[in-house]
Amino acid sequence: MSGRRNDNRGAPPYPRALRLNQVLRQIVAEELERLADADDRLELVTVTGVEVDSDLRHAMVYLSSLNEGSREALGERRVHLQRLLGRQVRMKRTPLLTFEVDPAVEAGGRVEDVLRRLRDSRPADTATPTGTGTGTGTDADDDADADADADGTGGLPADGTGSPPGP
């Protein structure tokens, strides 16, 4: 099972296989949520997808993160999860579960790292545009706007007419 998501050597996935992947994902995710209450190593483990081989002998469970502690806990609970699948899903064979980090999550993390480095490497003087007050273009205009509103009227006359002063 190389790659991620429906790599069936160029053949399109069958709707039955897609449904089976979703059912297995749901069952495994619900059970891992229950197991996380008893085992702290499984607290932050999220199932992002499941891929079953066409012969139903193997199923790859993709997780959002997988540290050494959670990998060990999943290894201890693998047989329990397989037994649960065998009871809840009517299949010819119960697949052997293997657990891996979702490559899509890893790729997204790498993209975020690149974007963060780009943002951090920008010179400080280009990080914010000049004249950000009212957007009129110059800092002098922004200062004049601030002086005009110093009385709290928003530049309107104090007579209460609501009309701005003439030119």
Each residue of 21-78: pLDDT tens digit? 999 999 999 999 999 888 888 888 889 999 998 888 899 999 988 888 889 999 999 9
Return the higher-pLDDT residue of 12 and 49.
49
State the pLDDT at residue 2.
47
- Is pLDDT of 153 > 80? no
Is residue 36, in this structure, part of any structural domain at all?
A: yes
b/e burial code for range 129-142 (CB count within 10 A of at least 16 → b): eeeeeeeeeeeeeb
What are the structure tokens assigned to 90, written together? 């009517």
Which domain CATH number covers 83?
Answer: 3.30.300.20
pLDDT of residue 59: 92
Say if CB 110 and CB 121 are below 8 A apart. Answer: no
pLDDT confidence of residue 7? 47
**Quick check: is 159 in a domain?**
no
More confident residue, 13 or 23: 23
Q: Are 31 and 81 in contact (CB under 8 A)?
A: yes
7-16, 65-74, 95-104, 108-117: range with lowest mean pLDDT: 7-16
The whole-chain average pLDDT of the chain stands at 76
Confidence at residue 28, expressed as pLDDT on a 0 to 100 scale? 94
Asked whether residue 147 is assigned to any structural domain, the reply reads no
| 98 lies in some domain | yes
Q: Report pLDDT digits (tens) over 119-135.
A: 888 876 555 555 555 54
Q: How many domains does the chain have?
A: 1
* Residue 42 covered by a domain: yes
Q: Is residue 80 in some structural domain?
A: yes
39 lies in which domain range?
15-106
Domain-located, residue 94: yes
> 75 in a domain, yes or no?
yes
Q: At what angle do helices 68-88 and 15-38 cross, to 10 degrees?
A: 120
pTM of the model: 0.60
Report percent pLDDT > 70 for the chain: 66
